Amino acid sequence: MKRRDFVKEIALGSLILKFNPGLFAQNKGTPDLAWIKGDSPALLTKEAIATLGGMKSFVSKGDIVMVKPNIGWDRPPKLAACTNPEIVKTIVELSLDAGAKQVKVIDNPCNPARRTYVRSGIAEAAKKAGAKVSFPNPHRLKKVALKGEWLKEWEVYTDFIEADKIINVPIAKTHSLSRLTMGMKNWLGALGGNRNQLHQKLDQVMIDLSAFFKPCLTVLDGYRILIRNGPQGGRLSDVKLHKTVVAGVDYVAVDTAGATFFEMSPQELPYLQIAHQKGLGEINLEKLVIEKRTL
Amino acid sequence: MKKERSKKYKILQALRILVQTLFFLLFIYLLFGTHFPGKDYIGRVEIFFHFDPLLAVAIFIASRTIFVSFIFAAFTVILTFVLGRVVCGWVCPLGSLHQFFSFIFKKSKLLKPKKNSDNRTVWKYYLLIFILVGTLFSLNLVGIFDPLSLLYRSFATSILPAVSHSFSAFIGLLYQVNLSSLGDILVQFYENLAVNPTFLQGFFIGVLFISIVLLNISRERFWCRYLCPLGAFLGLISRWNVVKLKIDPQKCIECNLCTIHCQTQANPFPEEEWKSHECVYCLTCSAICPTSAVCFPIKSTPEKILHVDLSRRKLIFTSILGLLAVPFFRLSPSARRASPKLIRPPGALPEKMFLQKCVKCGECMKVCPTNALQPALTEAGPEGIWTPMLVPKIGYCEYYCSLCSQVCPTGAIRELTVEEKTQIKIGLAWVDKNRCIPYVLGTPCIVCEEHCPTSPKAIKLVKIEVKLPDGNIKTPVAPVIDIDLCIGCGICETKCPVVDKPAIYVTSVGESRSERNQLLLDIIKTF
């Protein structure tokens, strides 16, 4: 190579780099959390997953994927008691696009499933996207060794155990016992039995369950959040339009991010502290690579 | 003599069976359709009741009010006036059921049709008079005996739940033999049927119903023949009977088959003794006649109608009995003091009016999405047996649901929009501090507060001090009720983790419908 060509190429290369600094940064690794703000719940979700490297990095071809939204209450989407149906729908679509064999949607609600599935709008939206939406099936309940610190065994819907991948799609709401209910509290909907007795040690239960179910991805619905009278609200004034979706593999980090929606720190949420101490995830947001974006 | 059965009447009989089957299926279809339909408002699944003139008349007399939907009953009245009791023979689903079982019992030789007729057919007229005399004094017992109420109540609170239990067990079996994929499909199907499986008196009501069906072993269509007050009512108004029985004396061999096999003892032979008010036009006589002698030609002149053969003495006796029954049924204290357990569905009229209108049909119990509405036994006094009450230990009143008020066929539960319903109090919740987990153990719980559907919540959490057995003091939060906000829905009681006897419970005090069953004398608020 001639010296002149060499200088030319260096000059050209530095020019390209100057105007396109991301060229070599592409392989530096995906962020820990995708934190997207914007107007459309579906687009937020799509962007968040894309930021994390696309659904293909979580769902493999032929997987049976269990999507676990919160369908707990007989409340319409505008009251923010259940996960936004658009978000659930988008997750189902992305999973199927990524090659999932089947996507299932199940939640064991507090009000009758026949009502919550309809009024939340989730059953219709998820079905439209191609998911198999079914009511929790009492015959599929099985006492399972959870091997938790406190919760040794409990009745779990085996659909969750048999699935290849679990994607947790909670909504962010206030709760008078755990203070906030987001991803880690969402697992109570995968259980049967007398769940109400679990409240006596709820924080530990949430940790034990999260460690057991090990979702491959948590997508937190912060589009509408319930800022008072949680976890079911009831008035529009209980709802805040927050227009955010946070997604990540580290479910402790996702809940920590969710706490900031309510201007709360992880220090105020004992379950996050314990989960962090156990090494289940990070609560120090500074230590994480977070990709924040507004659409 | 040519022995040949009439083809025409054979076909007509088959047609009648087809019509009966269709109406029965319609009844069952509407019964199954009486559940949360995926939207807030349900169609007219209770339409059968509105064609029932006995209910229409009894409620009109008892409550002195007109319920417009009963306008359809006029159709039944006109039809019966012109054609006789065709409704009994061709439409009534309970009649069809009895006929079906009579047929089964006959085929299995349990029931042997008897030659001799008796005069027990008058029982039903006395029963009718007994009921109607009561309604004069606003004692409404019609729902206990009305065939549609009887059938619906028995199916909704007993037969369907029993079938659903068996179905569940069958599904369980499928899972045991590794047919889980079929099981999965059936579970979803079952869930969509939304049959309420638990009823306090399911067994009792079921035994009564089965007994009534078993009576068919004694006589064909025993209920229709001897007991049905609606049949009696229709018999009394069947004045014209355009289609009349005729026996061709040329063909008749006097074999008596027609009378032996008459389903309701209308006595077709001899023709002069045919009781048109007992005839349900099932056409069995004309189809069974070996010589095609019995036929039903159209004859528009009203003639030769045998009047119901009631003795004046017994008539007076029954009326007096009906009169005496009124105070007898009111001996219970329920009129003086509200029962704490008698939590009526939202929209229920004030108790007195409610009892005058409720026909104990069980529509509300069938439609209730949480199985909360249960037939009362003694809670509402003797006249209130099988009227609906909310039992929060079993289910609760769903916040965004007014289905019971929509399906009530008589307006005993006033029709409400979902919006109106959320404003109605059906009772108040009370915390049993001797049993409530935070109050006793000092550990957190909050389950009742979490489930409380009002916003702001009627259950507040306050910090309390609890002395534990070891002398230590804990300061958990514990539930306290804001009685202004509490609507008495009972979800707190249903979901309370203290399973055997919930530590939070609802009683009827404070119910919107009552002026007297109130906790606070809040004059400013009421007016």
Distance (Å, whole) CA A196 – CA B235: 57
Contact (CB<8Å) B36/A112: yes
Q: What's the pLDDT tens digit per position in B476-489?
A: 999 999 999 999 99
* Confidence check: pLDDT of A10 > 80: no
Q: Residue A114: which of B183, B194, B454 has the nearest Cβ? A: B194
Q: What's the pLDDT tens digit per position in B406-458?
A: 999 999 999 999 999 999 999 999 999 999 999 999 999 999 999 999 999 99
| Confidence at B271, pLDDT banded by 50, 70, 90 | confident
* Confidence check: pLDDT of B95 > 90: yes
Smallest CA–CA separation between B457 and chain A, in Å? 7
Contact (CB<8Å) B454/A119: no
Encoded tokens for B58: 């009894």
Q: What's the pLDDT tens digit per position in A35-52?
A: 999 999 999 999 999 999
What is residue B247's three-state secondary structure? strand
Say yes or no: B412 and B489 in one domain: no
Examine residue B337 and state whether it is found in any structural domain, yes or no.
no
Chain B residues closer than 8 Å to A118 by CB: 38-39
Say yes or no: A67 and A149 in one domain: yes
Say yes or no: B224 and B84 in one domain: yes
**CA proximity to B307, closest of B263, B249, B241:** B241
Say yes or no: A10 and A117 in one domain: no
Please, which residues 325-384 of chain B have a Cβ atom closer than 8 Å to chain A? 369-370
**CA proximity to A201, closest of A267, A168, A152, A255:** A152
Q: What's the pLDDT tens digit per position in B234-266?
A: 999 988 888 889 999 999 999 999 999 999 999
Say yes or no: B397 and B265 in one domain: no
Examine residue B301 and state whether it is found in any structural domain, yes or no.
no
Examine residue B166 and state whether it is found in any structural domain, yes or no.
yes
* Confidence check: pLDDT of B303 > 60: no
List the alpha helices (DSSP H) in B411-456: 418-421, 437-441, 447-451
- Name the helix (H) or strand (E) containing B236: helix B229-237
Smallest CA–CA separation between B494 and chain A, in Å? 11
B187/A contact by beta carbon, under 8 A: yes
More confident residue, B207 or B524: B207
Task: Tell me A72's DSSP state.
Answer: -
Q: What's the pLDDT tens digit per position in A138-194?
A: 999 999 999 999 999 999 999 999 999 999 999 999 999 999 999 999 999 999 999
Chain A residues closer than 8 Å to B36 by CB: 112, 114-115
pLDDT at A113: 96
Say yes or no: A100 and A230 in one domain: yes
Say yes or no: A24 and A162 in one domain: no
By percentage, how much of chain B surpasses pLDDT 70? 97
Examine residue B311 and state whether it is found in any structural domain, yes or no.
no
CA quadruple A111, A115, A117, A118: dihedral sign: negative
**CA proximity to A260, closest of A213, A292, A216:** A292
Say yes or no: A49 and A17 in one domain: no
More confident residue, B228 or B325: B228
Q: What's the pLDDT tens digit per position in B140-189?
A: 999 999 999 999 999 999 999 999 999 999 999 999 999 999 999 999 99
What is residue A275's three-state secondary structure? helix
CA B518 to chain CA mean position, Å? 30
What is the residue type of A205?
A: V
Q: What is the mean pLDDT of chain B?
A: 93
Average pLDDT for B264-279: 89
Q: What's the pLDDT tens digit per position in A218-258?
A: 999 999 999 999 899 999 999 999 999 999 999 999 999 99
pLDDT at B1: 54
Encoded tokens for B23: 């109406």
B461/A contact by beta carbon, under 8 A: yes
Q: Which domain holds residue A5?
A: 1-28
Contact (CB<8Å) A235/B172: no
| Confidence at B331, pLDDT banded by 50, 70, 90 | confident
Contact (CB<8Å) B194/A194: no
**Which residues face A141 on adjacent strands?**
A157
| Domain tally, chain B | 3
| Confidence at B314, pLDDT banded by 50, 70, 90 | confident
* Confidence check: pLDDT of A262 > 60: yes
Say yes or no: A57 and A18 in one domain: no
Average pLDDT for B36-55: 95
Smallest CA–CA separation between A295 and chain B, in Å? 33
Say yes or no: B397 and B457 in one domain: no
**CA proximity to A224, closest of A73, A80, A66:** A80
Average pLDDT for B314-321: 89
Distance (Å, whole) CA B454 – CA A13: 65
| Confidence at B527, pLDDT banded by 50, 70, 90 | very low
* Confidence check: pLDDT of B58 > 70: yes
* Confidence check: pLDDT of A7 > 90: no
**Helices B123-136 and B229-237: angle between axes, nearest 10 degrees:** 90
Task: Tell me B261's DSSP state.
Answer: T
Say yes or no: B392 and B446 in one domain: no
B181/A contact by beta carbon, under 8 A: no
Contact (CB<8Å) B191/A135: yes
CA quadruple B396, B460, B521, B420: dihedral sign: negative
B197/A contact by beta carbon, under 8 A: no
pLDDT at A27: 46
Chain A residues closer than 8 Å to B194 by CB: 114
**Which residues face B477 on adjacent strands?**
B463
Q: What's the pLDDT tens digit per position in A108-133?
A: 999 999 999 999 999 999 999 999 99
Average pLDDT for B103-129: 90
* Confidence check: pLDDT of A58 > 80: yes
- The CATH number assigned to the domain holding A215 equals 3.40.50.11440
Contact (CB<8Å) B451/A233: no
Q: What is the mean pLDDT of chain A?
A: 93
pLDDT at A26: 47
Kindly write down the DSSP assignment for every residue of B266-322, as one continuous string.
---SSGGG--TTT-----HHHHH-TTS-EE--B--S---PPPP---HHHHHHHHHHH
**For B370, which residue in chain A has the nearest alpha carbon?**
A112
Q: Residue B444: which of A111, A140, A199 has the nearest Cβ? A: A199
pLDDT at B524: 53
Contact (CB<8Å) B187/A114: no
Contact (CB<8Å) B369/A119: no
By percentage, how much of chain B surpasses pLDDT 90? 82
* A70 neighbors A105 (Cβ within 8 angstroms): no
Length of chain B, please? 527
Q: Residue A199: which of B36, B172, B446 has the nearest Cβ? A: B446
* Confidence check: pLDDT of B523 > 80: no
pLDDT at B129: 94
Q: Residue B184: which of A75, A137, A175 has the nearest Cβ? A: A137
Q: Which domain holds residue B57?
A: 7-34+45-295
Say yes or no: A82 and A19 in one domain: no
Backbone torsions φ then ψ of B152, nearest 5 degrees: -65, -45
Say yes or no: A17 and A144 in one domain: no
Say yes or no: B417 and B433 in one domain: no
pLDDT at A19: 60
pLDDT at B147: 97
Which residue's structure tokens are 């009349």?
A: B244
**Which residues face A105 on adjacent strands?**
A67, A133
Say yes or no: B385 and B458 in one domain: no
> Which residues are CB-neighbours of A264 under 8 A, at least 6 positions away?
A179, A180
* Confidence check: pLDDT of A25 > 80: no
Task: Tell me B155's DSSP state.
Answer: I
- The CATH number assigned to the domain holding B381 equals 3.30.70
| Domain tally, chain A | 2
**CA proximity to B209, closest of B171, B170, B156:** B156
Contact (CB<8Å) B369/A135: no
**CA proximity to B263, closest of B296, B285, B247:** B285
Distance (Å, whole) CA B344 – CA B356: 14
**CA proximity to A220, closest of A100, A107, A84:** A84
Contact (CB<8Å) B497/A197: yes
Chain B residues closer than 8 Å to A196 by CB: 447, 495-497
By percentage, how much of chain A surpasses pLDDT 90? 89
Which residue's structure tokens are 């057991």?
A: A212
Examine residue B415 and state whether it is found in any structural domain, yes or no.
yes
How far, CA to CA in Å, does A22 sit from each of A28, A96, B141?
10, 30, 84
Say yes or no: B371 and B493 in one domain: no
> Which residues are CB-neighbours of A200 under 8 A, at least 6 positions away?
B437, B443, B444, B445, B497
Say yes or no: A6 and A131 in one domain: no
pTM of the predicted protein model: 0.93
B191/A contact by beta carbon, under 8 A: yes
Q: Residue A176: which of B35, B450, B496 has the nearest Cβ? A: B450
B178/A contact by beta carbon, under 8 A: no
Interface test with chain A among B186, B191, B498, by most A beta carbons within 10 Å: B191
Contact (CB<8Å) A139/B38: no
Domain ends where: B376, B405, B422?
B422
B450/A contact by beta carbon, under 8 A: yes
* Confidence check: pLDDT of A65 > 90: yes
Say yes or no: B407 and B527 in one domain: no
What is the residue type of A252?
A: V
| Confidence at B335, pLDDT banded by 50, 70, 90 | confident
Chain A residues closer than 8 Å to B454 by CB: 234
Contact (CB<8Å) B450/A177: yes
Distance (Å, whole) CA B485 – CA B217: 56
Q: Residue B450: which of A113, A119, A231 has the nearest Cβ? A: A231
Say yes or no: B102 and B172 in one domain: yes
Encoded tokens for A80: 């923010």
> Which residues are CB-neighbours of B330 under 8 A, at least 6 positions away?
B139, B381, B383
Examine residue B314 and state whether it is found in any structural domain, yes or no.
no
Examine residue B144 and state whether it is found in any structural domain, yes or no.
yes
Say yes or no: A97 and A204 in one domain: yes
Contact (CB<8Å) B187/A232: no
Which residues of A lie closer than 8 Å to B, measured between beta carbons? 74-75, 110-115, 118-119, 134-135, 137-140, 175-177, 194, 196-197, 199-202, 228-229, 231-235, 238
pLDDT at B116: 77
Smallest CA–CA separation between B38 and chain A, in Å? 6
Interface A-B, measured as beta-carbon pairs within 8 A, has a size of 92
Say yes or no: A9 and A67 in one domain: no
pLDDT at B370: 97
* Confidence check: pLDDT of B2 > 50: yes
Examine residue B319 and state whether it is found in any structural domain, yes or no.
no
Interface test with chain A among B32, B178, B441, B455, by most A beta carbons within 10 Å: B455
Domain ends where: B422, B445, B473?
B422
Say yes or no: A170 and A56 in one domain: yes
Q: What's the pLDDT tens digit per position in B15-32?
A: 999 999 999 999 999 999
Say yes or no: B231 and B200 in one domain: yes
Distance (Å, whole) CA B185 – CA A154: 25
**For B461, which residue in chain A has the nearest alpha carbon?**
A176
Least confident residue range of A7-21, A194-208, B26-40, B190-204: A7-21
Say yes or no: B217 and B151 in one domain: yes
* A199 neighbors A151 (Cβ within 8 angstroms): no
* A65 neighbors A74 (Cβ within 8 angstroms): no
Contact (CB<8Å) B369/A112: yes
Average pLDDT for A83-98: 98
What is the residue type of A56?
A: K
Interface test with chain B among A73, A105, A111, by most B beta carbons within 10 Å: A111
B228/A contact by beta carbon, under 8 A: no
Average pLDDT for A268-280: 95
